[in-house]
Structure 1
Amino acid sequence: MPISEVLKALANDRRLQVLAWLKDPTAHFRPQVDGDLVEDGVCGQLIAEKLGVSQPTASEHLKVLTQAGLIRGKRIKGWIFYRRDEARIAEVKAAIAREV
C-alpha cells in the first residue's frame, strides 16, 4: 500500500488513539476472558467500548488500520483480537523520514 494511503488511515483521531492504546494494551484495557492482551491482542469489542462507539463503527476503524497494515487481527472463539504490527509501523516511519 502506498504511503499516501497509510497516511489517510492515520488521518483520524480515533484510529490514532487505537494505535496509541495498542502500544501498551495492559495499561489501557481490562483483562480479557479469552486471549492475552499482549500475545493475542485486544478484542474488538473492548476497543469499541473504550472508543465509546458502536461495534460497527469500531470495526470500520479497525478495518482501515488493518488494510493499511498497521494492525493485525486474530480470530479467537468468534471474536477478533487486534495488535499493532510493529515491523510495518517502523517501515512507515522510515518511509516518512525519507520523504520529508
Structure 2
Amino acid sequence: MLRTPVDGTRLRILAWLSEPGTAERGLTADDVAAGLGVPLPVALAHLRLLTSLGLLRTDRSGDPPRYRRDEIRIAEVTQLFEKGW
C-alpha cells in the first residue's frame, strides 16, 4: 500500500513529515498539495489512506487540520516487516 502508486508519493509524505520543523508543526493538505505539485484531492487521498493505516494522526484543533506521523505505529509496522511479515 505504501509503494502504490509507483511514484512513491506516500513514502515521500512520510519522509517529509519526519524532517525537523515539519515533524513538530505537521502539514496541512494544502501544504502537501503545493509541496508535491499535485491537486488537493490527490493530496487528501494520500493523507486519508496514511491516516486510515494508522501511520498519520490528525490534529483537528486548528483550521485546517494538520497531519503528523504516528511514530509508535510506524515503529510497530517496521517491526512487522523486519520479522518477515
Is this a same-fold pair by TM over 0.5?
A: yes
1:93 equivalent to 2:85? Answer no
1:6-51 deviations in Å (ceiling 9; x for gaps): xx1x11300100000000152xx6xxxxxxx60x421221111001
1:69 equivalent to 2:54? Answer yes
Quote the offset at 1:78 in angstroms: 3.0
Task: Give distance in 2, aligned partners of 1:65 and 1:49.
Answer: 18
Computing the radius of gyration from Cα coordinates, the structure with the larger value is 1
Q: List structure 1 segments (4+ residues) > 2 angstroms apart after TM superposition.
A: none
Higher share in helix? 1
1:15 equivalent to 2:10? Answer yes
* Paired residue total: 82
Using a 3 Å threshold, how does the CA distance of structure 1 residues 79 and 55 change in structure 2: closer, same or farther?
Answer: same
Q: Which has the higher contact order (CA 8 A, sep 6+)?
A: 1
Task: Give distance in 1, aligned partners of 2:32 and 2:60.
Answer: 15
Match of 1:79 among 56, 59, 64: 64
TM value normalised by structure 1: 0.74
Using a 3 Å threshold, how does the CA distance of structure 1 residues 79 and 71 change in structure 2: closer, same or farther?
Answer: same
Higher share in strand? 1
TM value normalised by structure 2: 0.85
